[in-house]
A and B are shown apart, each in its own frame.
Chain A
Amino acid sequence: AQSVTQLDSHVSVSEGTPVLLRCNYSSSYSPSLFWYVQHPNKGLQLLLKYTSAATLVKGINGFEAEFKKSETSFHLTKPSAHMSDAAEYFCVVSDMETGGSYIPTFGRGTSLIVHP
């Protein structure tokens, strides 16, 4: 069985300071991991994904994430926050479960607040 835990429900930063959104996962297989962003009343947009290639993954808008198998973590970072980064962020794990089904599992989300 797979699961994902986003360790913070809210993260507050000042514009221009680094961003860290934490995600831990549990998976029986070799998982694929994703980060998505959601702006208010919108669908989710893919930020980046890890699929067993390089452990440091670069995404859109300056975000990146590092896959650490020993820590079962996939934290999202950005060196310098921008006001437009304020949104909800979701960590997602996906692997081939029993029966061959592919069902992504979502974390509960982290709300990123950016102060001027």
Chain B
Amino acid sequence: DGGITQSPKYLFRKEGQNVTLSCEQNLNHDAMYWYRQDPGQGLRLIYYSQIVNDFQKGDIAEGYSVSREKKESFPLTVTSAQKNPTAFYLCASSPGQLLYNSPLHFGNGTRLTVT
């Protein structure tokens, strides 16, 4: 079955450490997105990528970095510069620009706790 896989489901880190969240899709989608979810704030866009080797900052990119070396993969690194990294992180994909009204497909998320 096609879909998006996020790993791990739960992640614990000490403050000051960088951590990388994995996102893989086998839907052959061009576009991929990272969202952060906090209670009562909905989903906020961190980074997005419309094609391989290209990505753009979203609304809350500070303290995060991404890469898009392969179509299937869009890992997110939460750096020590992110002041409040504890959150639920969701990865999504869509076919991309030519099908702009297509819905997003989501992974099941990674819950990151930094202490």
Contacts and interface: CB of A to CB of B under 8 A. Distances in A.
Interface in B84-107: 88, 90, 92, 94, 96-97, 100-101, 103-104, 106-107
Highest count of chain B CB atoms <10 Å: which of A45, A92, A106: A106
Contacts of B42: 90, 106-109
B41 interface: yes
A32 B100 contact: yes
A interface residue count range (under 10 / 10 to 19 / 20 to 34 / 35 or more): 20 to 34
B104 A104 contact: yes
A45 B56 contact: no
Given A41-B108, A101-B56, 19 more contacts: A32-B101, A36-B104, A41-B111, A42-B108, A43-B4, A43-B6, A43-B92, A44-B43, A46-B103, A49-B101, A90-B42, A94-B100, A100-B97, A102-B96, A102-B100, A103-B45, A106-B44, A107-B42, A108-B41
Nearest to A33: B101
Q: Please report whether the interface of chain B is mostly helix, strand, loop or mixed according to DSSP.
A: strand
Nearest to A51: B101
Rank and list the top 10 A-B pairs by shortest CB-CB distance, nearest first. Answer: A43-B106, A32-B101, A108-B42, A102-B100, A106-B43, A51-B101, A46-B103, A44-B106, A43-B108, A106-B42
A45 B40 CA distance: 18
Contacts of B44: 106
Interface residues of B, number: 29
Contacts of A42: 108-109
A98 B91 CA distance: 24
B72 to A, nearest CB: 17
Contacts of B109: 41-43
Contacts of B41: 108
